[in-house]
Amino acid sequence: MHCYLYTFQSFQLINKHIRLFTFLLKMRPLTEEEAKSLFEKLAKYIGENMKLLLERSDGNYVFRYHKDKVYYVSEVMMKKATNIGRKELISLGTMFGKFSKGGKFKLHITCLDFLSSYAKQKVWLKPGAEQQFLYGNNVTKAGLGRISAGTEKYDGVVVYNMADLPLGFGVAAKSTVACKTTEPNTIVVFHQADVGEYVRAESTMS
Q: Which CATH number fits domain 2-107: 3.10.450.220, 1.10.10.10, 3.30.565.10, 3.40.50.2000?
A: 3.10.450.220
Q: Which fold has domain 115-204?
A: 2.30.130
8 pLDDT above the threshold of 70? no
Q: Which residues pair with 107 in a beta bridge?
A: 97
| Closest C-alpha among 97, 89, 69 to residue 21 | 89
Q: What contacts 63, CB < 8 A, 6 or more positions away?
A: 29, 30, 35, 38, 70, 71, 72, 96
Q: What is the pLDDT of residues 159-178, one digit of tens each?
A: 999 999 999 999 999 999 99
Do the beta carbons of residue 57 and residue 124 sit within 8 Å?
no
| Closest C-alpha among 85, 79, 86, 71 to residue 34 | 71
Report pLDDT for 19.
45
Distances (CA, A) of 203 to 69, 90, 197: 14, 12, 10
Would you call 118 exposed, middle or buried from its count of C-beta atoms within 10 A (0-12, 13-18, 19+)?
middle
Q: Which helix (H) or strand (E) holds 75?
A: helix 75-80
Let me know how long the chain is.
206
DSSP per position, 21-70? HHHHHHSEEPPHHHHHHHHHHHHHHHGGGGHHHHEETTEEEEEEEETTEE
Please state, in angstroms and rounded to a whole number, the distance separating the CA atoms of residues 155 and 121: 8
Q: Where are the domains of the chain?
A: 2-107, 115-204
The overall pTM is greater than 0.85:
no
Mean pLDDT (whole number) for 68-73 = 92
Q: What is the pLDDT of residues 79-117, one digit of tens each?
A: 877 776 656 666 678 999 999 998 899 999 999 999 999
Q: Which residue has the higher pLDDT, 148 or 79?
A: 148
pLDDT band at 158 (very low <50, low <70, confident <90, very high): very high
Q: Which residue has the higher pLDDT, 161 or 202?
A: 161
* DSSP-based three-state secondary structure for 73: strand
Q: Which of 46-50, 57-61, 194-198 has the lowest mean pLDDT?
A: 57-61
